[in-house]
Amino acid sequence: MRLVCLPHAGGSANAFRPLSAALGASVEVLAVQYPGRHDRFIEPPLTDIHRIADDIAGDAVLWADQPWAIFGHSMGALVGFEVARRLGYGPTHLFVSGHQAPDLPRKRGQDRPIHQLDNAGLIAELQLLNSAEVAALEHPEIQQLLLPTVRADYQAVETYKFEEGPALRMPISAYVGDADPLVDPIDAGEWRRFTAGAFRLEVFPGDHFYLQGNESTLAQAIARHLAGAR
């Protein structure tokens, strides 16, 4: 079974190394690297969720030769949802982590979009979420490299326009931390409206990045659901 993993805003493919290790040999993790970071640093970051999903869906032929599923965290949940819509019956399961249902309004950034804040405001938002990128942002030179990508990702999320469409066919599992300042379990549970298949909601201890340091428990839940899909 393959698990295509989609990072959070400002995140990279490397964020899924601990989860890949926890899943072990039974699941092959393929982590997507968005433009504008690490080995794709010279490419400009994208500011449109639909464009990101189009590009990923176009590459699906590279991994669709055997059963596969999608795991997306935060921004990655939105991207994963749109990729699944484009590929219909392709994925056997969709895991949406740390994000409310796609048609619900965001809890933060209503008065002023976060991507329009100055650098200090953007860093404060990352600190609130306990993002793994915060430690690196203590260095001014890394701020200059990283913040434009973070800002572009936030712009993609905050300008996302949900479009009505048929329900997905594959099962959806929604995961959320019990102390997430952005998403509560009720709003995460609204993902059930977007599938004609099975739906599961699981609440983990932790904040928006509950999966950091909790990879073993998360891997057990994913493996259990993938076994059903298989």
Domains held by the chain: number? 1
Q: What tens digit of pLDDT does each residue of 72-103 get?
A: 999 999 999 999 999 977 899 999 999 999 99
pLDDT at 98: 96
CA distance 144 to 137: 9
Query: Hey, CA dihedral for 117, 10, 60, 104, is it positive or negative?
Result: negative
Q: Which CATH number covers residue 190?
A: 3.40.50.1820
Q: What pLDDT was estimated at residue 228?
A: 66
> Given this model, what pLDDT does residue 41 score?
84
> CB-hemisphere CA count at 13 Å for 18?
10
Full-model pTM: 0.92
3-class SS of residue 97: strand
Containing structural domain, residue 120: 2-229
The pLDDT assigned to 230 comes to 53
Give residue-wise pLDDT tens across range 152-179: 999 999 999 999 999 999 999 999 999 9
Closest CA to 76 of 143, 128, 22, 30: 30
Contact yes or no for 68/1 (Cβ under 8 A) = yes
Q: Which pLDDT does position 90 carry in this prediction? A: 83
Which residues are designated catalytic? Answer: 74, 208
**φ, ψ of residue 176 in degrees (nearest 5):** -155, 150
For the chain, residues with pLDDT lower than 70 are: 108-111, 132-137, 228-230
Do 19 and 218 contact (CB within 8 A), yes or no?
yes
- Residue 111 has a pLDDT of 62
